[in-house]
């Protein structure tokens, strides 16, 4: 049996929609609308929690639309493709929000702050242990921290504390990663949704 060597995939973005300043600004405006809505949904429902609160069919349609939206951003031939998929993405977010509300799912409690960590897990920060019951994992890899826990962690990491004291307004930068994101399994978005996978995904 002869095994052919596969050619490496060139995952360089092939988009042509930002080929002018106006094209870029137009596409960016559509993308920003989606980003703003996604941020508001995360504030309302928690880090990557909303898509887990709806039925499997709706979650799949939502993820497929996210794929198409990303595909338009990275490989779209014209700005109309970006606008079209951005509009569909806005409707997809609103559909998830409506479905979760109609199912009686509880939004994130105002006493709970959530932030995604680099390993894909979520840190839920609450005022005290008495508030820990307000946290809803909903199938996510999530750990609860009280303000006292945060104080202890900072006490052991003097570099951060010192930097904040010496340089008021300094921020700690990190790469943001959505937890349990199914699109992380793809190296790129060149292929159509119905194209066969070359390698099995790590489910």
- Can you list the positions of beta strands (E) in the chain? 113-116, 122-126, 142-146
For the CA atoms of 30, 51, 126, 104, the dihedral, rounded to the nearest 10 degrees, stands at 110
On whether the pTM is more than 0.85, the answer is no
The two tokens of residue 21 are 């300043």
For 81-127, the pLDDT digits (tens) are 999 999 999 999 999 999 999 999 999 999 999 998 888 899 999 99
The two tokens of residue 171 are 């921020």
Contact 92, 65 (CB under 8 A): yes
The two tokens of residue 112 are 């709970």
For 160-181, the pLDDT digits (tens) are 778 778 887 777 665 444 444 6
The H or E element spanning position 103 is: none
């Amino acid at each position: 049996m002869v095994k052919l060597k596969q050619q490496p995939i060139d995952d360089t973005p092939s988009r042509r929609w930002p080929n002018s300043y106006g094209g870029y600004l137009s596409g960016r405006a559509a993308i920003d609308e989606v980003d703003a809505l996604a941020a508001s949904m995360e504030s309302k429902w928690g880090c990557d929690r909303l898509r887990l609160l709806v039925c499997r069919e709706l979650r799949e349609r939502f993820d497929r639309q996210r794929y198409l939206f990303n595909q338009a951003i990275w490989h779209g031939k014209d700005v109309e493709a970006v606008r079209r998929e951005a509009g569909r993405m806005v409707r997809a977010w609103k559909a998830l929000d409506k479905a979760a509300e109609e199912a009686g799912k509880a939004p994130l409690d105002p006493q709970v702050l959530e932030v995604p960590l680099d390993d894909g897990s979520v840190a839920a920060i609450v005022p005290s242990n008495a508030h820990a019951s307000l946290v809803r994992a909903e199938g996510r890899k999530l750990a609860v921290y009280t303000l006292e826990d945060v104080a202890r962690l900072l006490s052991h990491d003097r570099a951060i504390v010192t930097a904040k004291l010496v340089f008021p307004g300094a921020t700690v930068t990190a790469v943001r990663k959505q937890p349990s994101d199914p699109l992380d399994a793809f190296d790129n978005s060149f292929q159509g949704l119905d194209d066969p996978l070359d390698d099995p995904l790590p489910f």
